[in-house]
């Protein structure tokens, strides 16, 4: 919560830094916040925390609009085509803005030219989780299990962080495991709990309820070392050398002057 509050003054300044005539009446209608993942995802949770704080500070009404699917492209396209009047915001992640241009041959928006960044919101902690109805309690256990069942295991992902790091983990550990995509992390976790898939990388925010209840087992953080917020979990990189990535969330809005897209 503390890190989110630090970002709020920057966000509020950007929202009000428009023409004088507009600033005197802004906002006079609800502000829509596009979230590229489903309700219950880490990004959705952050969006609701931030908009609650902004609602109290500004006296404005904020509406969360979840547009999950296509690795955030659906929400990104909506924002890219929106009227650049400050009433449409995008709580984006590394998925639509930095990963998609490299994961897809074509996207229908320019992650740089179509958006104005307002503020970096937070860095997310991702963890490696498995179904608790197994004997897998460590990264080494997971690697041994997958190697003992080549081609018979699978991992889930609901965003590019889960996709890229799942693939990297499989490649670095020389595993044979199938990638299973989902529109967002909540349905992916549901299938993991049901035993339909064997593991996944997921943000700690959206998975903590399942971990605390025992429906999922966290075995490591997506890092090369332990994180202070989860000191009991080792880093994946302690078993798979060099494994270390940090996903982020940023608030952005449609640029006022849209330039032709350069992405093909």
- CATH code at position 14: 3.40.190.150
Do 217 and 233 meet the contact criterion of CB atoms below 8 Å apart?
no
Residue 259 lies in a domain: no
Q: How far apart are CA 73 and CA 71, in angstroms?
A: 6
Residue 261 lies in a domain: no
Q: Taken in order 61, 67, 72, 75, is the CA torsion positive or negative? A: negative
Predicted local confidence at residue 252, as pLDDT: 61
Residue 133 lies in a domain: yes
Are 158 and 220 in a shared domain? yes
Predicted local confidence at residue 19, as pLDDT: 44
Are 200 and 178 in a shared domain? yes
Q: Report pTM.
A: 0.61
Residue 189 lies in a domain: yes
Residue 264 lies in a domain: no
Instruction: Answer whether the bond into residue 27 is a cis peptide, omega within 30°.
Output: yes
pLDDT tens over the chain, length 264 residues: 333 333 333 343 334 334 444 456 888 899 999 998 888 887 888 889 889 988 988 888 999 999 988 888 999 999 999 998 889 999 887 778 877 888 888 999 998 888 888 877 766 788 999 999 999 999 999 999 999 999 999 999 988 888 889 999 999 999 999 999 998 888 999 999 999 999 999 988 789 899 999 999 999 998 878 877 788 999 999 999 888 776 544 566 666 654 443 333
Are 88 and 34 in a shared domain? yes
89 pairs with which residues across the strands?
33, 253
Q: How many domains does the chain have?
A: 2
Task: Retrieve residue 32's tokens.
Answer: 């829509």
Q: How far apart are CA 194 and CA 186, in angstroms?
A: 13
Are 6 and 114 in a shared domain? yes
- Write b or e for each residue in 28-67: b if 16 or more Cβ atoms lie within 10 A of its Cβ, otherwise e: eeebbbbbbbbebbbbbbbbbbbbebbeeebebebeeebb
> Residue 36 to residues 24, 27, 158, 247: CA-CA distances in angstroms?
31, 23, 11, 15
Predicted local confidence at residue 179, as pLDDT: 97
Q: How far apart are CA 157 and CA 248, in angstroms?
A: 17
65 pairs with which residues across the strands?
34
Domain limits for position 183: 126-238
Predicted local confidence at residue 256, as pLDDT: 61
Are 159 and 73 in a shared domain? no
């Amino acid at each position: 919560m503390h890190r989110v509050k630090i970002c709020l003054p920057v966000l509020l300044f950007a929202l009000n830094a428009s023409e004088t005539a507009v600033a005197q009446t802004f906002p006079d209608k609800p502000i829509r916040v596009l979230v590229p993942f489903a309700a219950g995802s880490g990004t959705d949770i952050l969006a609701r925390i931030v908009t609650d704080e902004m609602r109290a500070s500004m006296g404005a009404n904020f509406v969360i609009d979840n547009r999950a699917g296509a690795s955030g492209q659906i929400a990104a396209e909506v924002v890219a085509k929106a009227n650049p009047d400050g009433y449409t915001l995008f709580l984006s992640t590394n998925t639509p803005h930095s990963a998609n241009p490299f994961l897809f041959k074509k996207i229908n928006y320019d992650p740089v030219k179509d958006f104005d960044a307002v503020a970096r919101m937070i860095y997310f902690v991702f963890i490696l989780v498995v179904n608790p109805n197994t004997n897998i309690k460590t990264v080494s256990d997971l690697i041994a299990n997958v190697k003992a069942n080549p081609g018979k295991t699978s991992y889930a992902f609901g965003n590019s962080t889960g996709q890229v790091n799942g693939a990297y983990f499989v490649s670095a550990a020389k595993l044979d495991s199938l990638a299973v995509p989902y529109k967002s992390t909540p349905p992916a976790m549901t299938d993991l709990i049901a035993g339909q898939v064997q593991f996944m990388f997921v943000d700690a925010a959206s998975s903590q309820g399942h971990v605390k209840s025992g429906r999922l087992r966290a075995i490591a953080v997506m890092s090369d070392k332990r994180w202070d917020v989860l000191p009991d979990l080792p880093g994946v990189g302690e078993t798979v050398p060099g494994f270390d990535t940090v996903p982020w969330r940023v608030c952005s809005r449609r640029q006022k002057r849209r330039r032709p897209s350069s992405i093909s």
